Structure formats: structure tokens, C-alpha cells
């Protein structure tokens, strides 16, 4: 970001996930007076935690070269900045499935060459675990995982050092225009008290609840697709203990180390999403938070395991431990090519009210570039 801003801007960041915390810290270090509010009792307790914990290096996006290239640029920067939160001590493989796959092994290798991502044939040991009738080729790649608990603790220390004023169990209920800025009505859940604050800029970083404030304030809804998702946490058999595998590209699965609990995350393109809905599909607005809290949850673990074991028979020995449930939100335009651009909507319906959403943790840097590109703090 730019080295300084001409005046001390008052900033309110809504949402204490990784994006909200990082943005709050960066703006505070540029001389802004920043307040960060989070509706839950703790920061980074929802989507920033309940995910694959994958630090992308481009491999996941052979159908979106732009997303892949952005990942390749962000990967070394993220790993260097958050080195103490990175788990790089495992082997990572991408396996290309023959039936139903959307890319061939030859296409994947060319794609890796194009974006400059390291990719070599996997060793015999991992190949021996594959079902050769269903796996065309297996490649050794460079991809890491992050520990969300360590990352949360690090960011908590950083925002404290940057003198960001934080309020948990505090939600933003309404925004209204006030001169060149925004008045925001806050609700403190513990006391039930309301507070009204002024900000020159408000950054709405609430992920699946991006449309909550626009809906409350009569603004147009942002077109978004939501999925109720289940990320299984499993104890893997010995050959997979320090291994991560992604079988792609299509209706397949990933098994990745999940550092915070010493298990592996297990996700499946077909079974991780339990159902979906879109903002604007029905009259009015259906709050994703209400659906999350009231959801009746039935694990699809057995379906995930049964299908994955066709490709790697040893995965039939996995032992299920728990599931992480979360609402995953994506831009509808991403469905055709699996791209993951950030959502950045400056002055969304109100001057100074900006909506921000990222599809993966390492594209937080794209948000900083967008703020500079729009000269928001000038």
C-alpha cells in the first residue's frame, strides 16, 4: 500500500476474520484511526478457521490462469510474512483422475509450466497407493498449509501493536450517509446496548453476511452463491500422515494436513456442499447466519470416504473425528471456470461504504491493491 495518507481517516472494519484483521492492521499502520468489530466472541472463529487451511500456489486453478497466476504471486509473500504459521513439513501431490476429469495430465503439466509452478512426477511410493485404473498421473508439487490458531494469535498481537480498537460480540446493524462518511449503528450483544459511530470509510468484510447490511438499508443485494459445507477432520493411515493429496479436476477430493488439531481435513467436491442458495432467489433476504445457526446437520463422511477410497484404497482406513461446518460464499461468475477473484465494491450504495470478500486467504493482498487503485484514502 502507499506509504502514507494525507489526513487521519476514521475507519470501521466490520468482520474479524483474517481479511478484516489484516485490513485493519494495514490501515492503522498507514495512519488511520481504526476500529474493528466482530459479532462472535473471538476473532477468526468462522470461515477463516473452518476451511482446508491450504496456502494456494496456483495448482488448484488450471481452468483460471489469472487466479493461478495471482496465487503464484501471493504464495511466497504470504509464506514469508506468516512463516511461523506455515506448515511446510509434508509432501503434497496433485493427482489427475482419468474419468470425469476436466483436464488431462498433459494439460496440467503444461499449465504448471505456464504459471511457473514446480511440478515433477510423484515418487513410486505414492503412485503405488493409487488405483491406476482411475488415476492417470500423479505429480509432486509445492503447496503448504497454515495453522489458523497461530495465525489468529499473531494477527491479534499485530493489531494490538498497531493500536486498532477491537470490539467482539458487536455487530453492525445499519449504515446511513453522513456528510462525506457513514454513520453505523452497532449492537453490543452482551449488554444489548446500541452505539452509533461515524467513520470516513466502512469496510464490510463479513463474508457470507456481505448482504446483511445492504438488505437492512434498502441497497441492492450483491449477487452471491452460498453453500452449507462440511469439512471432515480425520485421522489418516500411516502412509498419509505427512502427505497431502488433491485429486482433480472435477468431482473429486482433497486430503490435507489441518495443523490446529493435528488431523487431516477431508473435502469432496460433490459431498462437502450439502445444499446451496443464492441471494435474491426469494423475496426479501435470507440471512446466512440464521441458516447456519438453525441447520440440521447430518455428516456425509461415509459418502466422501467411499468415493475417495476408489482412487486411494488406503483411505478406507481413515478414522472420522469431527466436522467443521460453515457457509461458503462465492461469486456466481466463478462457477464456470473455478476462478477466485476478490469481491471489491467501493462506495456500494453509500459513499464510504465498501464491500470486500476473498475466496482464499492469500488473496488478501489483492484487497490492498484495490484500495490503492481506487485512491480511497487520498
**1 pLDDT tier (thresholds 50, 70, 90):** low
Which three three-digit cell numbers place residue 204? Answer: 464490510
Whether the predicted pLDDT of 337 surpasses 60: no
The model's confidence at residue 338, banded by pLDDT at 50, 70 and 90, is: low
**Domains (range + CATH), the chain:** 1-53+147-222+337-378 (3.50.50.60), 71-145+225-330 (3.30.9.10)
pLDDT band, residue 210 (cuts 50/70/90): very high
CA–CA dist 315, 305 (Å, integer): 7
Q: How far is CA 206 from the centre of its chain?
A: 12
The reported pLDDT for the residue numbered 224 is: 93
- Please provide the DSSP assignment of 299-341 as one string: --HHHHHHHHHHH-GGGGG-EEEEEEEEEEEE-GGGTTTT--P
Mean pLDDT score, 93-120: 95
Question: How far is residue 255's CA from residue 318's CA, in Å, rounded to a whole number?
Answer: 11
Q: Which residues, 6+ apart, have CB-to-CB distance to 81 below 8 Å?
A: none
When pLDDT is averaged across residues 126-133 and rounded to a whole number, the result is 96
Nearest residue to 366 (alpha-carbon basis) of 124, 19, 98: 19
Q: Are 274 and 300 in contact (CB under 8 A)?
A: yes
pLDDT band at 283 (very low <50, low <70, confident <90, very high): low
**Predicted pLDDT at 333:** 73
φ/ψ of residue 207, rounded to 5: 55, -105
Provide the 10 A C-beta neighbour count for residue 189.
13
* Residue 259 parent element (H or E): none
Average pLDDT over residues 79-101: 95
User: What percentage of the chain carries pLDDT values higher than 70?
Assistant: 95
User: What pLDDT digit, counting tens, does each position of 36-57 carry?
Assistant: 999 999 999 999 999 999 999 9
What percent of the chain lies above the pLDDT cut of 90? 87
Instruction: Please write the tens of the pLDDT for every residue from 292-314.
Output: 999 999 999 999 999 999 999 99
Residue 339 has pLDDT above 80, yes or no: no
Q: Is the pLDDT of residue 243 over 90?
A: yes
Nearest to 361 by CA among 49, 66, 30, 73: 49
Q: Comparing C-alpha atoms, which of 35, 32, 26, 30 is closest to residue 9?
A: 32
Distance of alpha carbon 317 from alpha carbon 337, whole angstroms: 33
C-alpha 364, offset from chain centre: 10
pLDDT band at 377 (very low <50, low <70, confident <90, very high): confident
Going by pLDDT thresholds of 50, 70 and 90, the confidence category of residue 369 is very high
pLDDT of amino acid 132 = 95
What pLDDT score does 21 carry?
98
Residue 5 predicted with pLDDT over 80:
no
Give 63's pLDDT tier (boundaries 50, 70, 90).
Answer: confident
Q: Do 131 and 107 meet the contact criterion of CB atoms below 8 Å apart?
A: no
Asked whether 259 and 146 are in contact (CB, 8 A), the reply is yes
Cell of 8: 487521519
Q: Taking residues 282-286, what's their average pLDDT? A: 72
How far apart are alpha carbons 354 and 204 in whole angstroms? 6
Cα angle, residue 329 at apex, residues 364 and 373 outer, rounded to 5°? 35
The yes-or-no verdict on residue 367 having pLDDT over 80 is yes
- How far apart (Å, rounded) are the C-alpha atoms in residues 86 and 260? 11
Residue 351 in grid coordinates: 459513499
Lateral strand order in the sheet of 33-37 = 165-167, 33-37, 10-14, 201-204, 353-357, 343-345
What pLDDT score was predicted for residue 110?
96
What is the DSSP secondary-structure string of 46-86?
STTTSS--EE--STT-TT-HHHHHHHHHHHHHHHHHTGGGE
**Mean pLDDT score across all residues of the chain:** 94
Q: What is the DSSP letter of 246?
A: E
Q: Counting beta carbons within 10 angstroms of the beta carbon of residue 377, is it exposed (0 to 12), middle (13 to 18) or buried (19 or more)?
A: buried
Amino acid at each position: 500500500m502507499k506509504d502514507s495518507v494525507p489526513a487521519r481517516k476514521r475507519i470501521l472494519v466490520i468482520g474479524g476474520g483474517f481479511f478484516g484483521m489484516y485490513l485493519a492492521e494495514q490501515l492503522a499502520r498507514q495512519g488511520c484511526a481504526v476500529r474493528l468489530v466482530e459479532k462472535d466472541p473471538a476473532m477468526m472463529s468462522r470461515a477463516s478457521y473452518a476451511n482446508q487451511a491450504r496456502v494456494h500456489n496456483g495448482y488448484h486453478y488450471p481452468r483460471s490462469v489469472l487466479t493461478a497466476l495471482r496465487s503464484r504471486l501471493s504464495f511466497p509473500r504470504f509464506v514469508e510474512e506468516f512463516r511461523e504459521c506455515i506448515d511446510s513439513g509434508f509432501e503434497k501431490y496433485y493427482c489427475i483422475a482419468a474419468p470425469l476429469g476436466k483436464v488431462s495430465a498433459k494439460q496440467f503439466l503444461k499449465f504448471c509450466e505456464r504459471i511457473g509452478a514446480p511440478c515433477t512426477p510423484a515418487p513410486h511410493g505414492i503412485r503405488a497407493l493409487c488405483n491406476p485404473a482411475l488415476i492417470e498421473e500423479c505429480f509432486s508439487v509445492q503447496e503448504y498449509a497454515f495453522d489458523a490458531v497461530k495465525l489468529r494469535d499473531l494477527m491479534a498481537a499485530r493489531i494490538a501493536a498497531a493500536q486498532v480498537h477491537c470490539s467482539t460480540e458487536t455487530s453492525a446493524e445499519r449504515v446511513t450517509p453522513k456528510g462525506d462518511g457513514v454513520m453505523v449503528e452497532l449492537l453490543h450483544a452482551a449488554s444489548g446496548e446500541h452505539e452509533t459511530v461515524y467513520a470516513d470509510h466502512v469496510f464490510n468484510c463479513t463474508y457470507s453476511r456481505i448482504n446483511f447490511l445492504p438488505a437492512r438499508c434498502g441497497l441492492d443485494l450483491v449477487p452471491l452463491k452460498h453453500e452449507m459445507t462440511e469439512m471432515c477432520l480425520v485421522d489418516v493411515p500411516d502412509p498419509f500422515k505427512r502427505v497431502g493429496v488433491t485429486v482433480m479436476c472435477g468431482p473429486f477430493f482433497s486430503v490435507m494436513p489441518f495443523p490446529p488439531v493435528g488431523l487431516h481435513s477431508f473435502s469432496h467436491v460433490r459431498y462437502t456442499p450439502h445444499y446451496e442458495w443464492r441471494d435474491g432467489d426469494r423475496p426479501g433476504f435470507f440471512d446466512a447466519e440464521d441458516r447456519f445457526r438453525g441447520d440440521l446437520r447430518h455428516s456425509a463422511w461415509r459418502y466422501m470416504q467411499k468415493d475417495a477410497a476408489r482412487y486411494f484404497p488406503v483411505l478406507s482406513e481413515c478414522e472420522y473425528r469431527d466436522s467443521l461446518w460453515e457457509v461458503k460464499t462465492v461469486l456466481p461468475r466463478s462457477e464456470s471456470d473455478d476462478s477466485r477473484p476478490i469481491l471489491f465494491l467501493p462506495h456500494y450504495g453509500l459513499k464510504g461504504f465498501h464491500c470486500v470478500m476473498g475466496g482464499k486467504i492469500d488473496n488478501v493482498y489483492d484487497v490492498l491493491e484495490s484500495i490503492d487503485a481506487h485512491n480511497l484514502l487520498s
